[in-house]
Structure 1
Amino acid sequence: MWPVFWTVVRTYAPYVTFPVAFVVRAVGYHLEWFIRGKDPQPVEEEKSISERREDLKLDELLGKDHTQVVSLKDKLEFAPKAVLNSNLPEKN
């Protein structure tokens, strides 16, 4: 008799466990909200790091005058002049 019982339980286990799990979860959910009290206040979504970075870049760009740009000669100041002029003939 026991082998037949365990075969039936094993065969119909999904049909029994799902409704039991559903009822247990529903009772637990409502019990949790009964203990906590009223619904929590909605939380405002925070901006992501990339959105904050873009906002900072836009704020920085708003304060600049885009007609004033650095010349290319001034951008080459990082390299020593001796290296750049090593192949040029010396002027007397």
Structure 2
Amino acid sequence: MWPVIFAAIRTYLPYVTFPVAVVIGCVGYNLEWLVRGDRQQPYEERGIPERREERLLQELAARGGDGTQELKLHTLRS
């Protein structure tokens, strides 16, 4: 009798586990939404490369350096 029961479980297990996993996922998603609240991150208009270039230009302007000159390694350490 046990081999018949195990064969039936092995055969129909995917049909049972998928709906259970969907229900658990939906419950977890909604619980997380309730805990975190409706705090969405603001939309960034500029991408990371644009923000990095702007920051590097600001650092260069703050140092008073000339952007056309090469920086030497010993000047960067100070």
TM bracket (short chain): 0.5 to 0.7
SS in 1 for 2:43: coil
The separation in 2 between residues aligned to 1:32 and 1:41, in whole angstroms, is: 13
SS in 1 for 2:41: coil
The percentage of aligned residue pairs carrying the same residue is 55
Q: Which has the higher helix share?
A: 2
**What is the aligned-residue RMSD (CA, Å)?**
2.4
Matches within 5 A, 1:12-31: 12-31=12-31
Name the counterpart of 1:10: 10
Name the counterpart of 1:89: none
* Structure 1: gaps spanning 5 or more residues: 54-92
Name the counterpart of 2:43: 44
TM-score where L is the length of structure 2 = 0.54
Highest CA radius of gyration, 1 or 2? 1
Aligned length: 54
TM-score where L is the length of structure 1 = 0.47
